[in-house]
């Protein structure tokens, strides 16, 4: 039986740059779209040998804003990937979309080419906050995009939110959650990702905060927001299955679960990463260089890191602990080692600090997961294994 592999496709074009954004995305490079997509399809074909050997279980179009470009390009990429179709594959095919770039025609094309999940970047339900963070859509655009998804019969929708945000209070955040929850049945919202705002050095958002033009709640209120989030979403059927992700039962992101299970994946496009044969690869993040090197049959990989056994074991623990359920000690045996021999100090220390739960399963195995406190200070846990 062929092993599963996930595919990530990076579409780096955006209408404008959001003030907090640290992704590899470009504005005003629309003239390169066609050349870029042709190059990306070439990159897929360069990997034909690997793709023939594996079963593509998931595909994820991320960015950038994949919904910004003409849907014929998405179809072109899917047609290329479809050359490697086998039985029971392409279980989950997701595309990220911004509310103001979705149209009915695009959604219909997505469905036709096999996309079965849309992830919409809402981020906030407040137009003034969306403006502060440089988003170009409004709440009205979001509502409209959901109606279009309904019309196109898209039945698996994920929503992205961010917190804390400038000028967002806990009560306002509560309203946002109530609003999204109120739409879940009518619009097939099955999954919600809620990311913690990161303020990157040199970003416009950092400037606005430093100059006092906008402010963000203090740590106490942020902590209350986090608790509110966990309680409210769980009460309404969105089970927390990963540090930032909540879903209705059975609608966890299969693509991301493959990452957290240390599964194999190939990333195509500028700045895309891959993990294959215990090695991490990263493509150039210069789009001109990417296109040129693909066309001249040169390498586009700029970082290549082979992980040794200890690296793999550490990474396994860090990735698995992101999942709410954690992992079983017996799963670690795939490395031919006992986790309690390799990481006994780290595990005991974190358990004593109340950051890890280590629970016996019928005296035969152990389940290891982050405690509630551990998930609040996860970075301290990761540092132990780095």
Of 65 and 125, nearer to ligand SF4 (C-beta) is 65
- Segment contacting ligand SF4 by CB under 6 A, of 2-10, 20-28, 145-153, 349-357: 20-28
SS (H, E, C) 19-67: CCCCCCCECCCHHHHHHHHHHHHHHHHHCHHHHHHCEEEEEEEEECCHH
Minimal distance, residue 98 CB to ligand SF4, in Å:
6
Task: Verify cis geometry, omega within 30 degrees of 0, for the bond prior to 11.
Answer: no
8 Cβ partners below 8 Å, 6+ apart? 59, 60, 62, 255, 265, 266, 267, 268, 272, 273
By the rule CB under 6 A, 23 interacts with ligand SF4: yes
Of 6 and 12, nearer to ligand SF4 (C-beta) is 12
Of 98 and 119, nearer to ligand SF4 (C-beta) is 98
By the rule CB under 6 A, 9 interacts with ligand SF4: no
Minimal distance, residue 285 CB to ligand SF4, in Å:
13
| d(C-alpha 378, C-alpha 382), whole Å | 6
DSSP class of residue 227 equals H
Pairing of the two strands 356-361 and 365-370: antiparallel
Q: For residues 297-316, which are near ligand SF4 according to CB under 6 A?
A: none
Are the CB atoms for 300 and 268 separated by under 8 Å?
A: no
Angle in degrees, CA 349, 352, 354, rounded to 5: 115
Of 240 and 255, nearer to ligand SF4 (C-beta) is 255
Are the CB atoms for 33 and 71 separated by under 8 Å?
A: no
- Segment contacting ligand SF4 by CB under 6 A, of 19-27, 240-248, 267-275, 284-292: 19-27
Angle in degrees, CA 226, 64, 205, rounded to 5: 55
Q: Which of 14, 120, 189, 381 contacts ligand SF4 by CB under 6 A?
A: 14
Number of residues that bind ligand SF4 (CB under 6 A): 10
By the rule CB under 6 A, 21 interacts with ligand SF4: yes
Of 200 and 334, nearer to ligand SF4 (C-beta) is 200
Minimal distance, residue 135 CB to ligand SF4, in Å:
7
Residue with tokens 């400037």: 207
Q: Which of 64, 66, 166, 374 contacts ligand SF4 by CB under 6 A?
A: 64
Residues in the chain: 386
Q: Record the tokens describing residue 60, joined without a space.
A: 């994820």
Are the CB atoms for 94 and 113 separated by under 8 Å?
A: no
Minimal distance, residue 28 CB to ligand SF4, in Å:
12
Q: Which of 39, 40, 43, 65 contacts ligand SF4 by CB under 6 A?
A: 65
Q: For residues 90-149, which are near ligand SF4 according to CB under 6 A?
A: 98
Rg (CA), the chain: 21
Are the CB atoms for 315 and 279 separated by under 8 Å?
A: no
| d(C-alpha 363, C-alpha 366), whole Å | 8
Are the CB atoms for 165 and 133 separated by under 8 Å?
A: yes
Minimal distance, residue 62 CB to ligand SF4, in Å:
9
Residue with tokens 């000690």: 329
Of 99 and 374, nearer to ligand SF4 (C-beta) is 99
Of 197 and 319, nearer to ligand SF4 (C-beta) is 197
- Segment contacting ligand SF4 by CB under 6 A, of 57-65, 185-193, 208-216, 347-355: 57-65
CA 94 to chain centre: 10
Minimal distance, residue 13 CB to ligand SF4, in Å:
8
Q: Which of 5, 7, 9, 18 contacts ligand SF4 by CB under 6 A?
A: 18
Of 138 and 224, nearer to ligand SF4 (C-beta) is 138
- Segment contacting ligand SF4 by CB under 6 A, of 12-20, 81-89, 203-211, 332-340: 12-20
| Chain positions contacting ligand SF4, by CB under 6 A | 14, 17-18, 21, 23, 25, 63-65, 98
């Amino acid at each position: 039986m062929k092993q599963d592999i996930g595919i990530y496709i990076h579409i780096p074009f955006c209408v404008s740059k959001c003030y907090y954004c640290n992704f590899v995305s470009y504005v005003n490079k629309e003239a390169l779209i066609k050349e870029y997509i042709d190059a990306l399809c070439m990159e897929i074909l360069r990997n034909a040998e690997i793709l023939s050997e594996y079963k593509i279980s998931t595909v994820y179009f991320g960015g950038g804003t994949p919904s910004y470009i003409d849907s014929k390009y998405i179809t072109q990429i899917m047609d290329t990937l479809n050359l490697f179709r086998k039985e029971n594959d392409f279980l989950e095919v997701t595309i990220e979309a911004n509310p103001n770039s979705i149209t009915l025609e695009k959604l219909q094309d997505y469905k036709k080419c096999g996309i079965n999940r849309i992830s919409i970047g809402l981020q906030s339900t407040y137009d003034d906050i969306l403006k502060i963070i440089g988003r170009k859509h409004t709440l009205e655009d979001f509502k409209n995009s959901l109606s279009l998804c309904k019309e196109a019969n898209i039945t698996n929708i994920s929503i992205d939110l961010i917190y804390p945000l400038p000028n967002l209070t806990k009560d306002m955040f509560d309203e946002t959650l109530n609003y999204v929850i109120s739409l879940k049945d009518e619009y097939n919202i099955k999954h919600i990702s809620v990311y913690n705002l990161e303020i990157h050095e040199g970003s416009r958002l950092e400037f606005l905060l430093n100059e006092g033009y906008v402010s963000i709640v203090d740590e106490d209120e942020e902590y209350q927001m986090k608790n509110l989030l966990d309680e409210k979403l769980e009460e309404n059927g969105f089970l927390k299955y990963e540090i930032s992700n909540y879903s209705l039962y059975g609608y966890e992101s299969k693509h991301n679960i493959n990452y957290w299970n240390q599964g194999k994946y190939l990333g195509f496009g500028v700045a895309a990463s891959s993990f294959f044969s215990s090695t991490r690869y990263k493509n150039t993040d210069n789009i001109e260089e990417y296109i040129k090197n693909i066309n001249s049959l040169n390498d586009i990989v700029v970082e290549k890191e082979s992980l040794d056994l200890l690296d793999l074991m550490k990474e396994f623990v860090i990735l698995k602990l992101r999942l709410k359920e954690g992992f079983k000690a017996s799963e670690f045996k795939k490395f031919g080692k006992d986790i309690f021999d390799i990481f006994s100090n780290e595990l005991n220390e974190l358990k004593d600090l109340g950051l890890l739960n280590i629970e016996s399963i019928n005296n035969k195995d152990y389940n290891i997961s982050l405690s509630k406190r551990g998930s609040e200070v996860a970075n301290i846990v990761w540092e132990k294994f780095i």
